[in-house]
Amino acid sequence: MRPAAKRTLEAMRAVRAANKEITTHNIAAQLGVAVPTAGANLQKMLREGLIRRHGTVLQFDGKNRAKNMLWRINTLYVRKLEEQHKEAA
C-alpha cells in the first residue's frame, strides 16, 4: 500500500470519528490538501480496490453548494493488506 493511501485511510477514519460524512471535501480538509488532489488520490485508491464509491451528497459551504462523492473503506481488503504487511515485517 502506498504511503499516500495510508494517510488517506487514516484521514477517512478521522472524518468518521468526527461524525462527518466521508466525502472528498471532508477528506481533503482533514488532509490539508486541495479537493482535486484528494480526489485524484481517491480515484487511484478506487482502482486499487482499497475504497468504494457510496454515492453523492449535496453539501452547503456558506453560499456555495456542491455535490461530493461519498466513499467507504473496503475494510476486509484493507485489513488483509495490513496483516500481510505485519507478517512481512
Percent of the chain at pLDDT above 90?
A: 36
pLDDT in tens, 33-60: 998 999 999 999 999 999 998 888 777 7
Instruction: Please report the pLDDT score of residue 33 as a whole number.
Output: 93
Instruction: Please report the pLDDT score of residue 42 as a whole number.
Output: 92
Per-residue pLDDT, averaged over 26-36, amounts to: 92
Side-chain half-sphere CA neighbours of 29 within 13 A: 12
Instruction: Please report the pLDDT score of residue 13 as a whole number.
Output: 93
Model confidence at 88: pLDDT above 90: no
Residue 66 has what DSSP assignment? E
How far apart are alpha carbons 89 and 25 in whole angstroms? 34
